[in-house]
Structure 1
Amino acid sequence: MAGSQEAGSNVAGSKGARHGGNLFTVLSATALIATEALATAVAAGWALAGLLNLGDVGEYALMGLFSLAAVYVSVIYFRRAVRVEASLTV
């Protein structure tokens, strides 16, 4: 009997560790996606402003506008990733 209780506690402990590992994975993936999205947004704002000769103010405005969109997409990605990871129970 005591052996079965110990085995059950190990399984419960591994589920807790696995859940924490999943959260770390989601945070890491979100950081990667957010970094790529922000870099793309800044580069797109710089390139588009250069093509349209908008000057420094237009360049910064486009960078800011595209960066807001990138942050929004990153938040949506994080929420969906957390929801999917929460639904995957083993």
Structure 2
Amino acid sequence: MALPERGSINWLHVSTLIAVGILVGTEMVGASWAAGWALGGLLQFSPLVSRIVEGLFALCGVVLLYYFMRTAISNESIRN
């Protein structure tokens, strides 16, 4: 059984996805981390609890970035 031929890689689309990942990732993770920092300061948590809240919010940002990139890759054809 022969494998179907695949097209060549469209490097313009790959570079677009990388750029979008960097841009959106910086915004999403940075904003969620800052939200955790602001919440910890607003509620006057101890430094340890504040760091834990920051880490949890940053983790939420990474998860959101994962789902965003998964959707972006499925909608942007990498191969011709």
One-letter amino acid of the structure 1 residue matched with residue 69 of structure 2: F
Percent identity of paired positions between Structure 1 and Structure 2: 29
Instruction: Give 2:24's aligned residue.
Output: 33
Q: What are the ranges of 5 or more consecutive residues in structure 2 without an aligned counterpart? A: 1-6
Following superposition, the deviation at residue 79 of structure 1 comes to 1.0
Q: Which has the higher contact order (CA 8 A, sep 6+)?
A: 2
Bigger helix share: 1
- Structure 1 runs (4+) deviating above 2 angstroms are none
The match for 2:35 among 21, 24, 44 is 44
Q: Give the TM-score taking structure 1 as reference length.
A: 0.73
Q: What is the aligned-residue RMSD (CA, Å)? A: 2.1
TM-score normalised by length of structure 2: 0.81
State the aligned residue count: 74
Unaligned ranges ≥5, structure 1: 1-14
Kindly name which structure, 1 or 2, has the bigger radius of gyration based on alpha carbons. 1
